[in-house]
Structure formats: structure tokens, C-alpha cells
Chain A
Amino acid sequence: MALVTRHSRLVKEVRGTPVALDGATLVAYAMRQVRPDVVAAYPITPQTVITEAFSEFVANGEVETEFIQTESEHAALSACIGASAAGGRVQTATSGPGLALMWEVMYVASGNRLPIVMHLCARALSAPLNILCDHSDVMGIRDAGWVILLAETAQEAYDNAIQAVRIAEHPEVMLPVASVMDGFITTHGVERSEVLPDEAVAEFVGTYRAPYSILDVAHPVTVGPLDFHDFYFEHKRQQIEAMERAREVVCQVAEEYGTLTGRCYGAVEPYRMEDAEVATLVIGSVAGTLRTVVDDLRRQGIRAGMVKLRCFRPFPGRELAALLGGVGVVGILDRSISPGGAGHPLFTEVSSALCQRGCAPRMRSFVYGLGGRTPAPAQFRQAYGDLLADRQLGAEASAPVYLGLRE
């Protein structure tokens, strides 16, 4: 591999090698580079490529990981819990219904403070049966006590996969992390990305030294004992505190990664927000499409902007308030629904965070792309048009708009 490494006294930036890979293979490549002790997984579309590519690395001896193909996703995450409690660096990967089957065990992982990393390829939930992308699965784990990062591109999925290890294993955090990429769009799309040299990744993630191990017979511990009204509440409070500390750690790790690679991430990423009078708030791959829509609108003289949320847990309410509080009107784009709720999931989070800080702009809820429905640029141009009309009318709270839906 042709690698150029730049050294200076202050900054050591490593140049990566450009590759043409799909996002899933790229994430499997990152998994090889972070050298997990154990990976347990069950193949499910569209995550299957990750499982296949990683098991090939294991079979070829390119990584010394114990790879366990389990009989179900429930078993996969359970195996991860045992391996993590034994002190290993542990990962898994899943999608949609596979994540749903893990749901019970998600809470066991976070409650036991096990720094497992999951690569989640976002997929719709049945019924009707659907294998394509939406965020119904992601929103189902929002209260499970996992840090949740979401990627816009294959590059970002790779970068998040590496950073996730550092966040999870940080002594002040010790929580599992879900690193999310959009099913098919990101997992199966081949695009130009850069991979880091193996040594650079190994150095960045370091070696995991677990504070406790169930295999350390000299220092015996009990993992997952009965915990009733006496201490359960205190343990849950500690989880909340750990998640609060993760706020800072997510940004610290991103900063350090930015110094290494030149690719800088925060909890949120504003796009052309400096003087924006209308903006949208999005997660996942659609942020790229929104960039092109914002550019089009700017060319027409409309002061449009966009904010991409990269970190959904912990939720960066303060940062969003600072970015969106002064904007005339904001559209929140959900790729999942909460039937009968106060609003759809992302809308509820954002509007709650802004209202709590007393800086709520006019907000409107949009739903797009359920079950893989094409998120066409025209839909989002329509959304900005609706938002500008809302602002001029000064209307009462308006109903969600379903973009690209036959009605």
C-alpha cells in the first residue's frame, strides 16, 4: 500500500489509502483493524456482508478473533456479554429484526457496563415484510442505555467503527456503543473511501484492559446478580451518569481522530447554517442528499441550511439549541414513526430539547423513506417550500408531512 505519513512536532496526520469498497466490507475492514478478541453474530440482510467479510478475515488468519456464529441474534449478543465480562474486546453486527431479537439483551449489556460495539445496518421492521432501510430498528433501542452514532457515508461508518471502540472502553464511560449505517444505501453502495494503515488504527484504539474479568480467579467478581429495590435504582442512576460523561468523550475521541486523519466529526454537523432562515435536521445517509438540496436552494437565493445529527445518544440538545434556536423555521426529518406518540421519534427529541431550553423555533415534522422508499431530492425541496410557507403563515402547530407518499 502506498502510504504517505506526515509528521510534525504538533500533529501526526496519517494519510489513508483510497479504496472502492461497499460500506459493509469497509466496516468489516475496520473490525479487523481494531482486533476484537471475540465477535459473535448471526447473519441477516443487509448486515450479512459484514459477517461474511469478517469471517473471511478470520479464516485467512488476518485477524486473531474468536468468531462465533450463533443460532440467533439473542444468542449472539448473549455470547458477547459473556466474552466482554471475561475482559475481551467484543463486537457484533445486526440489522432490523435481528436487533429486535436482541432487545432484551441490549439492556443486559448496558446494565452490566460492558463496552461491546455493535455495527447496526439500519433496516425496517416487519410487517409488511421489508429488508430495506429505515430507522425503526434504531429508534427501538433509544432507551437501552447504548451510545448511538449514525453515519452519513461509508467513510463515516468506518471512522465511527474505530472511534466507537475508544468511546465504549473509556474508563469514564464503559457503555456499549451502536455504530449505525443505513442498510443497503451505505452497506451495499460502493464508494470512494480511505482506509488507515493497520498500525495507525491499532495505536489509536490501544489495548483494552478490562477493570474486571470473570476469568480472573484471583479477584473473583459476580456479574449480573439479583438486584432488587435495594440497589437497582442506584445502578441505573450510575448508567445515566456514565452516558452524561460520554458526551465529552464522544467529542474528545472525534477530535483526536480528526488530528490523526484530517476528518473531523462532532456530535452534530451544521451545513451552511451561518445565516440560515430555514433549516432541516436529519440523521444518516440522507444528509448527503440534503447538502445538494441546500446548495440548490442557496443558488436560488434562499438562505437554507441543514444540521446532521451524528450522535443520537447521548443526545446533543445544547448544541442543537445553539444551532437551531435562532432559525426562523426548522423541519425535522424522521425515517421512522411512533404511531400515537407526541410526535415521531426524532421530532419529539428535538422539539423537547429546544423547548426545554426556551429557544424553540417554529418546527415541523416530516417523515420520509420508510421501508426504503426513495428519498428523492424533489421531496426535500418540497419540504423546504412547506417550511417557508409555514413561516409566512405563522400557522398553528401543523400535522406531520409524509414525503413521497401516495395519498
Chain B
Amino acid sequence: MVATSALKLAEIRWHGRGGQGVVTASNLLAQAALEDGAYFQSFPEFGAERSGAPIIAYTRISHEVIHIRSQVLEPTIVVILDATLIGRVDLLAGLQEGGAIIVNTPLSPEEMRDRLDARAFVLCTVDSTGIAQKLLGRNIPNVPMLGGLLKARPLVPQEAVLSTIQHRLSARLRGEVVRANVEAFRRAYAEARVGLLEGNICEAET
């Protein structure tokens, strides 16, 4: 896997629905990149957000200054927070060869590979909704998705994400909810399954 220090430019496109914390996930990753000393951008697909409507957000992370200011058109990573978007939104548009897809689903990477028709990409699945329902009591899959993302692509150190979750969420949420989010991130990281290429499942790292 690519070491954090060797990271040139990661371009992430997040797909989800209004209310799932898509933009927050992107912003948390950006804040973690700041703690790691990297450069970053995080921004939503601009428009009027409505609960339940398809939402897109973008993150760029690099160890060099990032000048480009357009939307991410050729992502290296696509994160899908809501599998009901499959077939309704062109989720893999422009995804670079060898890029990674992280999907919120209880399915295995092989099962999801067929549904997404994604042969040329690294595919990671993580049951973020299941984890969120269990630990948070609500379908807010954004923080577990960060666990899955880092499992597939270690863009920033886990500790940076954990400390960001603690700092940023503490400003708005009760202590027990913050702790549940930290646990959700850890569990998602542990349980995420990464299929590197067709049929080739990576052993879960701990």
C-alpha cells in the first residue's frame, strides 16, 4: 500500500444522500489531513441540499500545494455511502484505472463487484449502516465509511482521524455519542473487506 508520505494527489468523490453526513465525512478527512501536515480541499457539489436527495462531495489530499479549483472529474477514489444510488447515479464516472471504490454494504467485495460492474478497481466493502445502527442507533454511516476508506487507502494516519473525530464532533455532540463514533470508526476499519482485484480478498489488517 502507498505510504502516506509518498502521496502525491488523492482525489476523492463521495456519493450519498442528504442527512447521511457526506459533507461532514469529507471535512473530517480534510481536518485529519491538516493534522498530518498535508494540503487538502474539501467541498460539496454546490446546490440546494435536501434530506434524502443524492449528494456529492469532493476531497483532495496532497503533500504539495493544490492549485486546481474545479470539481473532481477523474477521481482516484469513490466512496458510496448509500448503495441505493447504484444504477441511479453514474457513481464510477471518470474513476481512474486502478482507483478504489468503498461501498457501504453488508455484501462482500466480490458480490458488490458484479453489482457495480467494477472490474478494474480496488473494491472495499464495509457495513457502515449496520455499524451505525448498532452503535449510534441511527443510519449515519459517514464516520464508519472513513474507517473503510482508510483500510483501502491509508491517506492519513488513523490517529489523525480519531483525534479529529474527537475534537470536531465534541463541539456539537454529547460525549457518549462522540465515543460511539470513535468505536464505529475502529470497528469499520477492522471489519472492512478489501478486494484488491477480481476475486482477490485481502486479509483484514488489525
Spell out A's residues near B (CB within 8 Å): 18-20, 22, 46, 131-133, 152, 184-185, 188-192, 285-286, 288-289, 291-292, 372, 374-377
Residues on the A chain within 8 Å of B69, using CB: 152, 185, 189, 285-286, 288-289, 375
A131 to B46, CA, bound (A): 9
Collect the chain B residues with CB atoms within 8 Å of residue A288's CB.
66-69
* Cβ contact of A289, chosen from B39, B40, B44, B70, cutoff 8 A: B70
Q: Are B70 and A375 in contact (CB under 8 A)?
A: yes
Taking CB as reference atom, which chain B residue is nearest A271? B67
**With A18-B34, A19-B34, A20-B30 in contact, is A192–B39 under 8 Å at CB?**
yes
Contact string, B32-62, partner A, CB cutoff 8 A, digits 1/0?
Answer: 0110001111111011100000000000000
**B142 at interface, CB cutoff 8 A:** no
Specify which of B27, B46, B68 is in contact with A292 (CB 8 Å cutoff).
B68
A286 to B43, CA, bound (A): 15
Question: A-B contact count, CB below 8 Å?
Answer: 72
Q: Is B71 an interface residue (CB 8 A)?
A: yes
- 15 additional contacts (CB under 8 A) given A132-B46, A377-B68: A131-B48, A132-B47, A152-B69, A189-B41, A190-B43, A286-B69, A288-B67, A288-B69, A289-B68, A289-B69, A291-B67, A372-B46, A374-B70, A376-B71, A376-B73
Interface size on B, residues (CB 8 A): 23
Inter-chain CA distance A131–B38, complex, in Å, is: 31
- 7 A-B contacts (beta carbon < 8 Å): A190-B30, A190-B43, A191-B39, A289-B67, A372-B46, A374-B70, A377-B68
Q: Which residues of A contact B73 (CB under 8 A)?
A: 374, 376
B20, CB-defined interface residue at 8 Å? no
**Chain A residues positioned under 8 Å from B30 (CB to CB):** 20, 190-191
CA distance A152 to B38 in the complex (A): 20
A22 to B46, CA, bound (A): 13
Kindly identify which residue among A191, A289, A376 contacts B42, using a CB–CB cutoff of 8 Å. Answer: A191
Distance in angstroms between the alpha carbons of A377 and B11 in the assembled complex: 15
Residue with the greatest number of chain A CB neighbours at <10 A, chosen from B41, B44, B69 = B69
Indicate if B129 sits at the interface (CB-CB under 8 A): no
Report how far A285 CA is from B34 CA in the complex, Å.
21
- Among B27, B34, B67, the most chain A Cβ lie within 10 Å of the Cβ of B67
> Could you tell me if A189 and B42 are in contact, using CB atoms closer than 8 angstroms?
yes
| Interface check B104, CB cutoff 8 A | no
Are A185 and B43 touching (Cβ within 8 A)? yes
**Inter-chain contact A188/B43, CB cutoff 8 Å:** yes
A374 and B71 contact, CB distance less than 8 A: yes
Q: How many angstroms between the C-alpha atoms of A251 and B47 in the bound complex?
A: 37
- Please tell me if B76 contacts chain A, counting CB pairs below 8 Å: no
Which of the residues B40, B47, B70 comes within 8 Å of A191, measured between beta carbons? B40
B70 touches A20 (CB 8 A): no
